[in-house]
Amino acid sequence: MLQDILGEQLMLNRQMFTNFQELIYITCGIALADNKRTMLSVRLLKRLRALNFDSYEEYFEHIQTESNFADELQSLLNVVTTNKTDFYREKHHFQLLAETIIPELRSNHLISSTDNLRVWSAGCSSGEEPYTLAMVLSDAMGAKTGSFEILATDISTKVLQEAMSAVYCEECVAPIPEEQKKKYLLRGTGNQKGFYKIAPEIRKHVKFGHLNFVAENYRIPEKMHVVFCRNVLIYFDTHSRDEIVRKLCNQLVPHGYLFIGHSETLDPQEYQLERLLPTVYRRKC
């Protein structure tokens, strides 16, 4: 077991684990379960070693110092947040968007050849989701039927930097269909051999930004036609999850669409939504 490998002297004691649990919950709403003590210990060791601290207590005191709080808190959140993602993850969501939702938005006159389709990838991690959206929408819409813009946000500045670099290894891009690889990926050469960069015509549609889901105001000026918030809500407790879903729904245009992950559930009536599929909802008004 990982706990045995770490050794008790490298494990967070229960009081310090509780301290970090509370700090993380207050600042970003993520509720770490009690069985995450080993995981948090392993991840925090990276910061202890980077800062040359000998104990978790010393590191916790460092964070509490006013002059260190903002910067080190962000470093802590970068270490703590989980960023599992893939290109074309839950592929049927993208098929539904291209084949059903875009035509429906057009028929309801929510978008037209002169309007931009606005999509939000909320919890975008290292960029695979928003770039998948951009490739799918480029194929589905084309120049003659209107353009689109994608807002991609995350709390981790580390993964946002990775996403903005738009460079992925060969294993990472494996789920992308061959036709789209040829159209939308640039193959690396020399010391970049084995890596691929998302083409400029795809990158231009995606705007990245930092966002904390528990912020009082998301400060996103435009309403969205579609929001992807998949495999994010599972990290929050009931109260925080309720607040986040309400903010996401408020960011949707009437009859806009919300996608969540397959391990997540919500009561559509609580948020003026109608359920189309177990993970796909439409705002009623």
Instruction: State the residue for tokens 């080190």.
Output: 72
Active-site residue among 37, 47, 118, 154? 154
Sign of CA dihedral 207, 90, 281, 256: positive
Whether 43 is catalytic is: yes
Q: Mind giving me the DSSP string for 100-145?
A: IIHHHHHHTTSS-TTSEEEEEEET-TTTHHHHHHHHHHHHHHTGGG
Cα(5)–Cα(91) distance, integer angstroms: 38
Active-site residue among 43, 106, 187, 275? 43
Whether 37 is catalytic is: no
Cβ atoms of 242 and 36 within 8 Å: the answer is: no
Active site residues: 43, 154
